[in-house]
Amino acid sequence: MTMNADTSLARLALKETAESLEKQLTKLLPKADGLEARVVEAMDYALMAGGKRLRPFLVMQGAKLFSVSEQAALQVAAAVECAHTYSLIHDDLPCMDDDDMRRGQPSVHKKFDEATAVLAGDALLTLAFEILADEKTHADPRVRCELVAAFARALGAQGMVGGQMFDLAAENRDLDQFSITRMQNMKTGALIVFSCEAGAILGKADGRRRHALKGYAHDLGLAFQIVDDLLDKEGDSEELGKTAGKDEDAGKATLVSLLGVERARTQAEMLIAQAIEHLEIFAEKADVLRSMAHFVIHRAS
C-alpha cells in the first residue's frame, strides 16, 4: 500500500472531524458582552486557529468502535480540544516555552496580552470540565464521573502539567531514554491516551478492548512526539505554524537529541508498528485508526 493510500482515510476523517468540531465549539463557547468579553474573544481566537485536531479525531474514532452517538462523542471531543488549546496558550507564554507563533498566527499573549492569555487558558480548561459534566455528554452520571476523573488524571500533576514541569526542569540536563520517554508520556501522551480511552468509557467497553485502545494511544503518542521533535529540528517555521529549532536552542532533552535523527526515526517507526498491532482485536472497524498511525509518521507539520 502506498503512503497516500495508507493516510487517505485518516486525512478524510480529520477533515470531517475538524468541520463537526468547529461547529460544536461555536455552540459551546460562552457569550459575553461586558468587559469580560475580551477573554471570550481570546478563547475563540485560539480555538478556531485550526491545527490538526488529532485528539478530537481519536475521540470520534474510538467512540465509533463502540457505536457511541456522534453527539456524545462530539461533546468529549470538544472538551479535549478546549484542554489541548489551554495547554498551548500557556506553553507559549514567556515564562514557559516563550513562543510568539502558534498555528500560523501570533500566540494569544502576543495578539492580546499575557494576563488575557492566562485567563483564556484557565477559562478553556474549566469549560472542558463543564462540557464533560453535562447530561448531553452521557445520560449515565457514572459514565460522566468516570470521564471527568480520567480527564483530570490526564491533565494534572501526574499527566500533562507534571510533564510540562518535568520539561522545564530538564532544560540543559542530560536525561536517559527512560526519563525522556516518561516525560513525553506525561506531557503529550496522557491526553492522547485519554482521547482514545474516552470512546471506550462512553461505550462501556470491556477491559480487553479498552486496554487495546490505550496501548494503541500510548505508542501513537510517543511516535507523534518523536516526529514533532524531528520536525522541530528539520522543519520550516512557516510550514509548522510555529518557530522551528526552539527545542534545540533551549537545550531541551528529546529522543532526537539523545539518539540522533536516524535512530529516533527508526524508534518512531517501531512504535507505529506496535500501535497498529494493538488494533487487531477490532479488525476492519479500526482501519481509520490504522491510517492515522501512518499519517503520524509521515506528517510534515
Residue with cell 481570546: 42
Least confident of 63-67, 71-75, 248-252: 248-252
pLDDT at 151: 99
Instruction: Count the neighbouring beta carbons within 10 Å of the beta carbon of residue 157.
Output: 11
pLDDT at 236: 62
Contact 129, 154 (CB under 8 A): no
pLDDT tens across 24-40, in order? Answer: 999 999 998 899 999 99
Q: What is the CA radius of gyration of the chain?
A: 18
Residue type, 66: F
pLDDT tens across 95-154, in order? Answer: 999 999 998 899 999 999 999 999 999 999 999 999 999 999 999 999 999 999 999 999
pLDDT of 48 strictly over 60: yes
Contact 247, 275 (CB under 8 A): no
Residue 238's pLDDT band, with cuts at 50, 70 and 90, is low
* CATH architecture assignment, domain 3-298: Orthogonal Bundle (1.10)
Reduced 3-state DSSP string for 62-85: HHHCCCCCHHHHHHHHHHHHHHHH
pLDDT at 5: 45
pLDDT at 233: 83
Residue 43's pLDDT band, with cuts at 50, 70 and 90, is very high
pLDDT tens across 172-225, in order? Answer: 888 999 999 999 999 999 999 999 999 999 999 999 999 999 999 999 999 999
Average pLDDT, the chain: 93
For residue 156, what is the DSSP state? S
